[in-house]
């Protein structure tokens, strides 16, 4: 099945394409925005390579959507290493509920179109906005780890979260005490 375009009241979520790289560089080139995501791209060619690498992945491993507002790419959201969720938004669009709107449309779509029993996320514990958003969307914390990634020479920790397929309860092993 192909990757469909989704529409919300303020956004269009379309499959990522190479032509989106220059607009996405507005995020990748912003050190403050990249603080919890990865190394800042100092050259648009770095963003072009990132997009090309993403597009080279098969859709069963990577489903990335670009968020368009009024035809302008303002961020991305999707599964980059199924079932790992990744998302970002340009800093000038933070605090407007746009990512909540995007993920509210995208998460059910991913469950409907992919054989997933859950979606997971890995968030820096200092990224309160992302943690709050994920909790609001129904993600639950599963565990934490220290010093999981180094970004800009600084070690970061991780909070791991999970969202089960709707209607599916997360099974907990029961110990046989007989």
Mean pLDDT over all residues of the chain? 90
What is the mean pLDDT of the segment spanning 82-91?
Answer: 94
Is 174 or 86 the better-scoring residue by pLDDT?
A: 86
Per the CB < 8 A criterion, the answer to whether 67 and 13 are in contact is yes
- The band of 37, judged by pLDDT with boundaries at 50, 70 and 90, is confident
Per the CB < 8 A criterion, the answer to whether 140 and 162 are in contact is yes
pLDDT at 177: 38
Stated pTM of the model = 0.88
pLDDT at 66: 97
pLDDT at 95: 94
Which of these, 117, 104, 58, 46, lies nearest to 77 by C-alpha position?
Answer: 104
What is the mean pLDDT of the segment spanning 4-29?
Answer: 95
What is the mean pLDDT of the segment spanning 137-165?
Answer: 91
Residue 147 backbone class (left: φ over 0; alpha: ψ -120 to 50; beta: rest): left
For the ranges 23-37, 71-85, 111-125, 126-140, the lowest mean pLDDT is seen at 23-37
* Cα gap 97→9, rounded to integer Å: 12
């Amino acid at each position: 099945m192909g990757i469909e375009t989704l529409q919300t009241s303020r956004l269009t979520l379309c499959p990522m394409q190479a032509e989106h790289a220059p607009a996405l560089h507005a995020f990748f080139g912003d050190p403050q925005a990249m603080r919890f995501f990865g190394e800042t791209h100092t050259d648009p060619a770095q963003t072009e390579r990132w997009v090309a690498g993403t597009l080279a992945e098969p859709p069963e491993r990577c489903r990335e959507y670009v968020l368009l507002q009024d035809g302008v790419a303002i961020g991305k959201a999707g599964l980059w290493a199924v079932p790992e969720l990744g998302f970002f938004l340009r800093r000038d669009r933070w605090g407007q509920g746009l990512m909540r709107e995007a993920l509210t449309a995208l998460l059910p779509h991913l469950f409907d179109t992919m054989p997933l029993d859950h979606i997971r996320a890995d968030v820096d514990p200092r990224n309160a906005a992302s943690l709050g958003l994920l909790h609001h969307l129904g993600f639950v914390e599963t565990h934490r780890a220290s010093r999981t990634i180094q970004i800009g020479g600084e070690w970061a920790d991780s909070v791991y979260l999970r969202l089960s397929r709707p209607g599916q309860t997360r099974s907990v092993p029961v110990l046989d005490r007989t």
